[in-house]
Amino acid sequence: MRTALVTGGAGFIGSHLVEGLLARGVAVRVLDDFSTGRRDNLIAVQRHPDLHILRGDIRDAQAVGRALEGVQVVFHLAAFVSVPGSIEDPLTCVDINERGTAVVLEAARQAGVQRVVLASSAAVYGDHTQQPLHEALPPRALSPYAASKVAGEALAQAYTRMGLPTVALRFFNVYGPRQRPDSPYAAAVAVFVERLRRGQAPTIYGDGHQTRDFVFVADVVDALLAAAHAPADAAGRAYNVCTGQAVTLLDLLAELYRYFPKAPLPDFAPPRPGDIRHSVGDPTLAAQVLRFRARVSLAQGLRRMLRATPA
């Protein structure tokens, strides 16, 4: 992998991946329309000689084709990422996530790319009650966003059979530096930290005993790189990117109050319609096939996030 394309490379996860690739000596092209991504996310590497930032839409075949010239691996992270937004505007969500993914895959096939690694989501599991969630469970999409991610995985599998190796990664609750608390898909971590820093009470919807699988963004970057370098038989499948650790929202806040001991206690509000009670991933398949395991504990990740985030 001499040159990689990162779609959505100015976003939260994408910018961390760009930094990781450049640190490993890989030349990087970023394709981003900057609708949600920000140039500030790339400020630490913006003058790197091996970074080229292109403004463009993944639905524009010509823009994607130009970005792919000389590229060996594509990391496809650009997406419509809001679950509520997908319910309000399903056609735009489907257009970006399904048609956009199809454009990227076809352009990559035409360009002779060696592999495409694409971001999927734990949202594909919906309200399955079996925990931990494993890849053999059938998808149960509860929103157009989740359905579009299921479709993206299906497209990737089809293109693998057509000769373009692909790997899909189902991200669980990703958190870390540069995650915007006002993002429509921000993990509870970013939202809670913002409230606590302002001396405001965080809001818990429900009783706080709902569980999530929080995975630090540096581990997500490692998973993306592992997927790019995994053996040929890894292609055409989806893998969880998770820790396998169930953390309640009350447990999360208990960790955060160590850093904000004078902050107000949380307010409790009724559960939001459609909220999933438990969502914890099974990391076994990724460990076996991709040789990936998350290494950053919640305590370590929160410490690193708070040190890196300006007060």
DSSP string for residues in 118-137 = EEEEGGGGTT--SSSB-TTS
pLDDT in tens, 154-190: 999 999 999 999 999 999 999 999 998 876 556 789 9
For residues 229-234, give the mean pLDDT: 96
- Note the helical H segments in 133-235: 144-161, 188-197, 217-229
pLDDT in tens, 107-131: 999 999 999 999 999 999 999 999 9
For residues 80-101, give the mean pLDDT: 94
Cβ neighbors of 210 (< 8 A, separation 6 or more) are 248, 249, 275, 276, 277, 278
Amino acid at 14: G
Q: For position 183, what pLDDT does the model report? A: 67
Give the strand pairing for 73-76 and 278-279. Answer: unpaired
- pTM, full prediction: 0.96
For residues 249-272, give the mean pLDDT: 95
Whole-number percent of the chain with pLDDT over 70: 98
Q: For position 181, what pLDDT does the model report? A: 86
Q: For position 163, what pLDDT does the model report? A: 97
Question: Which domains does the chain possess?
Answer: 3-174+214-243+282-295 (3.40.50.720), 175-211+245-279+303-308 (3.90.25.10)
C-alpha–C-alpha distance, residues 31 and 63, integer Å:
8
Q: For position 311, what pLDDT does the model report? A: 60
Question: How confident is residue 134, by pLDDT bands cut at 50, 70 and 90?
Answer: very high
For residues 79-85, give the mean pLDDT: 90
For residues 40-59, give the mean pLDDT: 97
Cβ neighbors of 217 (< 8 A, separation 6 or more) are 12, 13, 16, 174, 175, 176, 177, 179
Query: Catalytic residue at 145?
Result: yes
Q: For position 310, what pLDDT does the model report? A: 66
> Is the confidence at residue 92, as pLDDT, over 70?
yes
Check residue 288 and report its DSSP letter.
I
C-alpha–C-alpha distance, residues 75 and 167, integer Å:
10
Whole-number percent of the chain with pLDDT over 90: 92
pLDDT in tens, 273-306: 778 899 999 999 999 999 999 999 999 999 999 9
Asked whether the beta carbons of 30 and 42 are under 8 A apart, the reply is yes
Set 145, 175, 185, 239: catalytic member = 145
